[in-house]
Amino acid sequence: MHIDFSRISAGDGEALADFLTGEEWPYHAGTQDRETVRRFAAEGRYDDDETRTFWILADGERAGLVKLQDLADDTPMFDLRVRKQWRGQGLGTAAVAWLTGYLFTELPDVLRIEGTTRQDNHAMRAVFRKSGYAKEGHYREAWPAPDGMRHDAVGYAILRRDWTSGTVTPPDWHDEP
């Protein structure tokens, strides 16, 4: 499978609406309706000074989406979505490797990259670990689900120096007196 990344264009509002509303995203908080996605796209919220969004293309098909956020900060975050039919085929791992290299290469002031997922999203947690990200936080009942349940959230990050050296520096979990 050939994987590529393509920055969204100004005319991608309808395609973004199709993508974001045409699937269930079980591990993403909140829901979006077509009109909101279209409006946000028209307002430039998917591609501006703070945000860049890319299609994940698998053999030319739009199989996923990577949204890079907080780009004016030294610690950007990202939203990663892979269509159901493409999950479990390595796209998440490829996307995180790509976005990590992209952010550290394109934005020299970035010191670290953060990502958060639900505790029960075992696939994404495995992607973080495979990609050199260290678990840095566990937030109890911090992730609301559409059904009203609250799930724990888990935060991961990678430091530029760890990415450069190929190491993972875990936090000091035993720092309390």
Poorest-confidence range of 45-54, 68-77, 82-91, 138-147? 138-147
Closest CA to 104 of 96, 113, 92: 113
Q: CA of 163: how far to CAs of 74, 98, 99, in Å?
A: 15, 12, 12
The whole-number average pLDDT for the span 64-76 is: 97
**Residue appearing with tokens 């309808």:** 14
Q: CA 13, 41, 109 angle in degrees (round to 5)?
A: 125
- Dmax of the chain from CA atoms? 56
Q: Spell out the domain ranges in the chain.
A: 3-165
Number of Cβ within a 10 Å radius of residue 20: 21
Encode pLDDT of 26-57 as tens digits: 888 666 789 999 999 999 999 999 999 999 99
Return the pLDDT at 108.
Answer: 96
State both tokens at 163.
């990415």
Return the pLDDT at 30.
Answer: 61
- Of 3.50.50.60, 3.90.320.10, 3.40.630.30, 3.30.420.40, which CATH number belongs to 3-165? 3.40.630.30
Query: 3-state DSSP helix/strand/coil percent for the chain, to nearest 5?
Result: 30, 30, 40
Entry pTM? 0.93
* Average pLDDT over all residues of the chain: 94
The whole-number average pLDDT for the span 104-133 is: 97
Contact 84, 27 (CB under 8 A): no
State both tokens at 158.
């990678």
Return the pLDDT at 148.
Answer: 85
